[in-house]
Amino acid sequence: MASQGEKGELHKKIDQLEKENRRLRVLLDVANSLQAELELDKLLFKIMEEVAEILDADRCTVFLYDKERNELWSLVAMGLQKGEEIRFPADKGIAGHVAQTGEILNIPDAYQDPRFNPEIDKKTGYRTRSILTMPLYNKMHEIIGVFQILNKRNGPFTKDDENLLAAISQIAATAIENAQLYDEQVKSLDSFIETLSATLDTRDYITAGHSRRVTEYTLALADAMGVDEEFKRQLRYAGLLHDIGKLKIPESVLFKADKLTPEEFEIIKLHPQVTREILSKIHFQRKLKDVPEIAATHHERLDGTGYPEGLKGEEIPFGGRMICLVDVFDALTSERQYRDRAPLEKVWDIVEKETGTTFDPRCVEAFKTIPAGRIIEIMEHQRQEDFNQAEIERLYQVPIIDIIEIKRKAPESRTPQESEILETFDKYYWRDY
Amino acid sequence: MASQGEKGELHKKIDQLEKENRRLRVLLDVANSLQAELELDKLLFKIMEEVAEILDADRCTVFLYDKERNELWSLVAMGLQKGEEIRFPADKGIAGHVAQTGEILNIPDAYQDPRFNPEIDKKTGYRTRSILTMPLYNKMHEIIGVFQILNKRNGPFTKDDENLLAAISQIAATAIENAQLYDEQVKSLDSFIETLSATLDTRDYITAGHSRRVTEYTLALADAMGVDEEFKRQLRYAGLLHDIGKLKIPESVLFKADKLTPEEFEIIKLHPQVTREILSKIHFQRKLKDVPEIAATHHERLDGTGYPEGLKGEEIPFGGRMICLVDVFDALTSERQYRDRAPLEKVWDIVEKETGTTFDPRCVEAFKTIPAGRIIEIMEHQRQEDFNQAEIERLYQVPIIDIIEIKRKAPESRTPQESEILETFDKYYWRDY
């Protein structure tokens, strides 16, 4: 016969085990969930949401420690706009105190604590009550950030909350470090491609800045078409690298300001093929696998008379057709040593004449809808500090085709508004500022 | 009063909870452990070891599914040498069956199962008894690989083993995918730098292959000095990129085969500074942060008479001093349009003369110990298919300084062995094969 006491003990044990079980399940869920996200900003957002929910609190913020600048920062904070960043010296406020000392602070009433800085509450109208703040350590036991949880729903944070958060911190810290390492790698490749492209751009005084502008126009066109982020990333790399094949064209031909001989033109025409050869040797990640093909087809023409392959219509990847259009647009609207940019309406006459033969009509249609302000920003990038922002914003209200059509009208048949917007546009197009 | 039956129920419940608790702890440990490893080969090895231990089995192998080649492969398998790779068609054997069907196979006695292929046992002398094989799914429920566990220590694998392995599989699959993504990123940057360097190398017919050889000599020197892998990675990137600044030197100066005018030489001397400018714009990961500085100091001289900074002695990063030496060595031992490579003993006279003024004596000392075979392999890389491998191996037994010293002796005072090794070396040095 079991005594009542014995039974009580057993029930107590079961309660304990069940509690521990729930705790382990939560941790395992957290581990699985965090592990699945390798992109730093998404990961941080996920951590903040999950931890607030698990601890039944109102808000959670992960502050990361930026060692070089000795600052704490948070990329996306709950209650702020996505993309906003908070950044402050690593010795300020509660989070700073925790980052400096490694102490865990469990504060039941923020306004009773002298370390609490009520400034942010004043700005945001939020009312902080309880705070739980805990350091985040990496494997080498260096502080890499701070967890801050605000306003537990029922009373202050408990010792159990502290323990659970400590266990979550471990899991989160590794996930954050992985995401940071991944992020660094992505940034390395990205900055390498961008720097190389910019270097090649400045090397050629005739077409200085060409690859950069082609890339920006292509992305403007992509936005006009509403393509997805993954395709945009491919377009960006293909744009930056489309002329990399020119590395193997002799400068005496490449930088010749005069008209090329037919033989020299044949040499120039080798460059998209060389672009393909170079890019196809690069181990692009799966999401970027079309970059070489897009970059290498920017001189193909819809009717099959382009080079190097003479591809026709749908044989040309859509990204190649996009770059083909903006490449010509940039060539015609760029200054040259020996001439100013061509008048925009003449440029567009040429584009329209070639629509359906050289250019894909869908690209041309979408290009028309790009805001004139964006075109000017790209075209005149190097003079951006002289821009009048109000005027540029005004030009953002008008698609580029409207400017072209106003230009095509006889001056006397333009409305005053039309004359005014055209004057603003021409001011930048002809650099009269 | 509680009845005996009630008490039994409570104990049963406690047992269950304790068992579940242990299971959750194991899974959490696995999650923490796997999450901490972002390098694919180390991760796979860790998974294999941990799973074998947890399931009390003799061996575990993770086969990854290579979709493009429709093959299963394992980079490091328990019981194989590190670095060895198993690879077979994705429809072969037990693992292939599981990869194709997604079935879980729990086989108590392999030799009773017709799908089992005893060939590998025959080769290795290993005796397979029980097998548990399970598919690995990613988040999109695509099969990314197969878990195979061999020879449970006490009897066949149980249903509990299956359940535990299924839960581990989920954790492992995400860790593997993260590591693969990271791996892809590393490979992207690496292949980009390598391809760019090779492109710049072939562009200049005068010094074709220079950056490649400089990189290889630097790594040979690094091996002679026993530096760590991380420093070697920096040296490799710095070697591949040390002349990237030449991108901004006009070809008319850069590719001039005749003697340069003093003005032209001043232009050439700008290149390490441009290398620094280009590389400093790149967001290298922390482990690679010295690459720009190493690459930009390859024309500094120990006595401070080098360029662009005129740095002295310890002010020059050690990597820069290494590249400085091999850069000169390569220039002197390369063919030019207008001359063959210089005799090795003359090259070394120049190096010795400049030791302590241009070159760091420690680099020179270490260079002497590089195997002659390795020097020939680097120098004559493009003709490697014409090599007699036995001769190259023979040259691997001799440090390069021995060849130099034999060359410096009068022919009549050389031993027959010395004459023989010199003849072999000269055959490749003077391309008489």
Residue B112 has what pLDDT? 93
Helix, strand, or coil here: A60?
Answer: strand
pLDDT, residue B214, reads: 97
Mutation test of the interface with chain A: which of B16, B42, B43, B195, choosing the one with the most A Cβ atoms within 10 A? B195
Contact A189, B189 (CB under 8 A): yes
To the nearest whole Å, the CA of A344 is away from the closest chain B CA by 33
On chain B, the residues whose CB falls within 8 A of the CB of A192 are 189, 192-193, 282
Is residue B217 within 8 Å of residue B334, measured between CB atoms? no
Cβ-Cβ contacts under 8 Å, B168 against chain A: none
Strand partners, B355: B359
Q: Which domains does chain A have, with CATH numbers?
A: 16-181 (3.30.450.40), 186-429 (1.10.3210.10)
Q: Per-residue pLDDT averaged across B357-382, rounded?
A: 97
Q: Decide if pLDDT at A88 tops 90.
A: no
Q: Return the half-sphere exposure (C-beta side, CA atoms, 13 A cut-off) of residue A419.
A: 7
Report the complex ipTM: 0.87
- Asked if residue A40 lies in contact with residue A183, where contact means CB atoms within 8 angstroms, the answer is yes
pLDDT at position B337 over 80: no
Whether B83 has a pLDDT exceeding 60, the answer reads no
DSSP string, B127-189: ----EEEEEEE-TTS-EEEEEEEEEESSSS--HHHHHHHHHHHHHHHHHHHHHHHHHHHHHHH
Contact B195 A13 (CB under 8 A): no
Is the pLDDT higher at A348 or at A76?
A348
Selecting from A27, A198, A282 the residue whose C-beta is nearest the C-beta of B191 gives: A282
Mean pLDDT of all residues belonging to chain B: 92
Question: Of B70-74, B139-143, B190-194, which has the strongest mean pLDDT?
Answer: B190-194
Asked whether the predicted pLDDT for residue B279 surpasses 70, the reply is yes
The span from the CA of A423 to the CA of B141, in Å, is 58
With CA atoms as reference, the chain B residue closest to A1 would be B4
Distance (Å, rounded) from C-alpha A128 to C-alpha A384? 43
A57-61, A117-121, A360-364 — which one is most confidently predicted on average?
A360-364
CA A193 vs CA A141, A198, A356, B416: distances in Å: 35, 8, 33, 55
CA distance B178 to B182: 6
Q: What is the mean pLDDT of residues B286-296?
A: 95
Q: Shortest Cα distance from A237 to chain B (angstroms)?
A: 12
- Of the partner residues A6, A24, A198, the one whose CB lies closest to the CB of residue B24: A24
Q: Residue A169 to residues A62, A161, A176, B21, B278: CA-CA distances in angstroms?
A: 10, 12, 10, 21, 39
Closest Cα in chain A to B29: A28
Q: Under an 8 A CB cutoff, do B248 and A182 touch? A: no
Q: Are B73 and B64 in contact (CB under 8 A)?
A: yes
- Of A253, A272, A259, A396, the closest CA to residue A323 belongs to A272
Say how far apart CA A50 and CA A41 lie, in whole Å: 14
pLDDT at A76 > cutoff 60: no
Q: What is the pLDDT at residue B77?
A: 59
Contact B11 A10 (CB under 8 A): yes
Both tokens of A310, joined, read: 């003479």
Q: What is the pLDDT of residues A216-259, one digit of tens each?
A: 999 999 999 999 999 999 999 999 999 999 999 999 998 887 88
Answer whether B251 sits within 8 Å of A251, measured CB to CB: yes
For residue B287, the distance in angstroms to the closest alpha carbon of chain A comes to: 11
Cβ count within 10 A of residue A237: 25
Provide mean pLDDT across the span B173-194. Answer: 94
Prior bond of A308 cis (ω within 30°): yes
Q: Do A174 and B21 touch (CB under 8 A)?
A: no
Contact B297, B280 (CB under 8 A): no
CA distance B33 to B41: 15
**Using a CB-CB distance cutoff of 8 angstroms, which residues of chain B are in contact with residue A247?**
199-200, 203
Residue A149: Cβ-neighbour burial (10 angstroms; 0-12, 13-18, 19+): buried
Question: Is the predicted pLDDT of residue A83 greater than 60, yes or no?
Answer: no
pLDDT band at B247 (very low <50, low <70, confident <90, very high): very high
HSE (side-chain half, CA atoms, 13 Å) at B259 = 2
Tally: H helices and E strands in chain B: 18, 6
Per-residue model confidence (pLDDT) at position A87: 86
**Residue B131, strand partner residues:** B107, B150
d(CA B44, CA B46): 5
pLDDT at A118 over 90: no
Tell me the Cα Rg of chain A.
30
Q: What are phi and psi of B143, to 5 degrees?
A: -75, 120
CA distance A26 to B253: 67
Q: Tell me A3's DSSP state.
A: -
Give the one of A10, A139, A188 whose C-beta lies nearest to B285's C-beta: A188
Q: How far is residue B317 from each of residues A342, A417, B292, B296, measured CA to CA in Å?
A: 51, 63, 11, 10
DSSP of B357-403: TTB-HHHHHHHHTSBHHHHHHHHTGGGGGG--HHHHHHHHTSBHHHH
- Nearest by CB to residue B188, choosing from A1, A195, A285, is A285
Q: What was the pLDDT predicted at A282? A: 95
Chain A residues closer than 8 Å to B270 by CB: none
Nearest neighbour of A20 by CB, restricted to B21, B178, B185: B21
Which of the residue ranges A24-33, A179-188, B13-22, B351-360 has the most confident prediction, judged by mean pLDDT?
A: B351-360
Residue numbers in B near A21 (CB within 8 A): 17, 20-21, 24
Q: How far is Cα A149 from Cα B3, in angstroms, rounded to an integer?
A: 47
Kindly report, residue by residue over B102-121, the tens digit of the pLDDT.
Answer: 999 999 999 999 888 888 78
Picking from A32, A100, A31, A29, the residue whose alpha carbon sits closest to that of residue A63 is A100
Q: Tell me what pLDDT residue B199 has.
A: 92
pLDDT of residue A172: 94
pLDDT for B342 equals 92
Average pLDDT, chain A: 92
Among B93, B136, B89, residue whose Cα is nearest residue B113: B93
Residue B2 pLDDT: 55
pLDDT value of position A319: 98
| Candidates B13, B35, B248; nearest CB to A203 | B248
- Which pLDDT tens digit goes with each residue over B300-323? 999 999 999 999 999 999 999 999
DSSP class of residue A383 equals: G
Cβ(A79)–Cβ(A72) below 8 Å: no
CA angle A191–A194–A198, rounded 5-degree value: 135
Q: Do B7 and A10 touch (CB under 8 A)?
A: yes
Q: Read off the pLDDT of each residue in A179-185 and give the average, rounded to a whole number.
A: 93
- Using the Cα atoms of residue A350, residue A354, residue A359 and residue A361 in order, give the sign of their dihedral: positive
What DSSP string describes A176-212? Answer: HHHHHHHHHHHHHHHHHHHHHHHHHHHH-SSSTTHHH
CB-based burial label for B238 (10 Å; 0-12, 13-18, 19+): buried
Query: Contact, A55 vs A165, CB < 8 A?
Result: yes
Residue A200: how many other CB atoms lie within 10 Å:
20
Q: How far apart are CA A84 and CA A92, in angstroms?
A: 19
d(CA B101, CA A284): 31
Q: Are the beta carbons of A371 and A398 closer than 8 angstroms?
A: yes
Nearest to A138 by CA among A173, A162, A166: A173
Angle at A279 between CA A233 and CA A217, to 5 degrees: 40
Confidence of residue A81 (pLDDT cuts 50, 70, 90): low
pLDDT digits (tens, 9 = 90+) for B138-165: 988 999 999 999 999 988 999 999 999 9
Is-contact A168 A51, C-beta < 8 A?
Answer: yes
- B178 and A181 within 8 Å at the Cβ level: the answer is no
In this prediction, residue B204 carries a pLDDT of 77
Q: What is the pLDDT of residue B81?
A: 56
Indicate yes or no: CB of A35 within 8 angstroms of CB of B178: yes
- At A374-387, the pLDDT tens digits run 999 999 999 999 99
Q: Of the ranges A28-32, A62-66, A267-271, B201-205, which one carries the lowest mean pLDDT score?
A: B201-205
Residues of chain B neighbouring A248 (CB-CB closer than 8 A) = 199, 202-203
* Chain B residue at shortest CA distance from A203: B248
Q: Of all residues in chain B, what percent carry a pLDDT higher than 70?
A: 97
Task: Give the per-residue pLDDT at A82.
Answer: 54
Contact A149, A157 (CB under 8 A): yes
Does residue B350 carry a pLDDT above 70? yes
The continuous run of DSSP H or E covering A89 comes out as: strand A86-89
Strands B105-107 and B131-137, sheet pairing: antiparallel
| pLDDT at residue B338, as a whole number | 65
Q: Cα dist. B332→B207, B254, B264, B298, B368 in Å?
A: 11, 17, 21, 16, 16
A103 contacts: CB under 8 Å, gap ≥ 6: A97, A135
Judge whether residue B202 has pLDDT over 90. Answer: no
Q: Tell me the percentage of chain A whose pLDDT exceeds 90.
A: 80
Q: What's the average model confidence in pLDDT over A320-340?
A: 89
Q: What distance in Å separates the CA atoms of residue A247 and residue A239, rounded to the nearest whole number?
A: 15
* Test mutation, B1, B6, B10, chain A, max A CBs within 10 A: B10
Q: Is the pLDDT of residue A317 over 60?
A: yes
Q: Give the residue-averaged pLDDT of B47-73.
A: 92
Residue B298 has pLDDT above 80, yes or no: yes
